[in-house]
Amino acid sequence: MSKPNRRSLDGKVALVSAAGRGIGRAIAIGLAEAGASVALNSYGDETTESTAEAVRAVGSDALPLPGDITDPDTILSTVDRTLAHFGRIDILVNNVGAGPKEMPEREAHALGPVAALWDALYDQNLRAAMLMTEAVVPKMVEQGHGKIVQVSSIAGRTSLSDRMLKMFTHPAYGAMKAALCHYTTTLAETLGPRGINVNAVCPGIVWTDSWKANAEGAVASQPQWKGLDARAWFDGIGRGDYPEIFDRTPLRRDQTVEDVADAVVFLASEAARNITGQSLMVDGGMVKL
């Protein structure tokens, strides 16, 4: 029938940060498959170019913009170059976020180390997404439309086990992701009247470079898993084989980068035109809200 496909992103321009690998790469490709042109950033030249190639391979226009997206100058130049090339930004996906790449200098007091860790996780998870949003919103307001999707985490919506926190993540990571979900609601409230939708997705357990490193660490350091293949060990996390680390996921499997990308594409499309301020769990049912 002649009704338009509301999931199509034909003619749209998307900007995706941290799109070199894993979830960000899948999001860039998913947006491209739905028809969007994609400006994409990642830290390294090679990873950025590799995703750009994948975007072009599905027939979309790609603009690779490598650089450290936690740096305000890079944020501003990334937005400027996207606008110079495409003339507008319809979709912003803030996928930036991770454990600290480098630690800020410690202050010379007993709380110095813990303060440095929180500062680093703030810089890479909340501050970078917030500054990018601040840089893009004026243009979206001028356009009278826009879709912003923040990539948060289950860590921002629930507590995690002591073992999980000791081995793989840090309370500050969850706190920053929780703040990102809250920032999503306040942005949605203020930008709704300007025609801008703001939502978050919260991925669960996804086989990315971070989880690969976690898995390699687990099989190398824990006697009960010695000799196990890292990927095989990781499959056990989704299945719920190690309840002392992670609560059982009802669907008993890990989530994929494509699952997350599909949720982002949905939220970025007209199919979700009346959804705003939500944090969409993509976690196999782990978090109960």
Query: Does the footprint of another protein cover residue 175 (CB under 8 A)?
Result: no
Spot the catalytic one: 60, 177, 183, 279.
177
Choose between 97 and 203: whose C-beta lies nearer to another protein.
203
Spot the catalytic one: 122, 173, 183, 242.
173
CB of 49 to another protein, least distance (A): 27
Torsion angle of alpha carbons 193, 94, 205, 45, nearest 10°? 160
Q: Rule CB under 8 A: choose which of 204, 219, 234, 237 binds another protein.
A: 204
CA distance 118 to 97: 13
CA distance 41 to 118: 24
Residue 33 CB partners (closer than 8 Å, separation 6+): 58, 60, 265
Q: Rule CB under 8 A: choose which of 236, 251, 264, 268 binds another protein.
A: 251
Distances in Å between the Cα of 114 and the Cα atoms of 36, 60, 81, 172, 253 are 42, 44, 37, 10, 34
CA distance 56 to 1: 29
Choose between 171 and 277: whose C-beta lies nearer to another protein.
277
Whether 139 is catalytic? no
Query: Does the footprint of another protein cover residue 288 (CB under 8 A)?
Result: yes
Q: Rule CB under 8 A: choose which of 197, 234, 237, 257 binds another protein.
A: 197
Q: Rule CB under 8 A: choose which of 50, 143, 161, 185 binds another protein.
A: 185
Whether 212 is catalytic? no
Query: Does the footprint of another protein cover residue 193 (CB under 8 A)?
Result: yes
Choose between 45 and 189: whose C-beta lies nearer to another protein.
189
Please enumerate, as own/partner, the contacts of 285-289 that have beta carbons within 8 Å and a separation of 24 or more: 285/249, 285/250, 285/251, 286/154, 286/158, 286/204, 286/205, 286/247, 286/248, 286/249, 286/250, 287/154, 287/157, 287/158, 287/202, 287/204, 289/157
Instruction: Give ∠ CA 253-256-259 in degrees, rounded to 5.
Output: 110
Q: Decide the pairing of beta strands 13-16 and 279-282.
A: unpaired
Query: Does the footprint of another protein cover residue 155 (CB under 8 A)?
Result: no
Query: Does the footprint of another protein cover residue 183 (CB under 8 A)?
Result: no
Interface map 267-286 toward another protein (x if CB under 8 A): ----xxxxxxxxxxxxxxx-
CA distance 272 to 91: 13
Structure tokens at 182: 């809250």
Choose between 169 and 255: whose C-beta lies nearer to another protein.
255
Q: Rule CB under 8 A: choose which of 176, 259, 264, 268 binds another protein.
A: 259
Residues marked active site are found at 153, 173, 177
Interacting residue ranges for another protein, rule: CB under 8 A: 1, 3, 5-7, 34, 184-185, 188-193, 195, 197, 204, 250-253, 255-256, 259, 262-263, 265-266, 271-285, 288-289
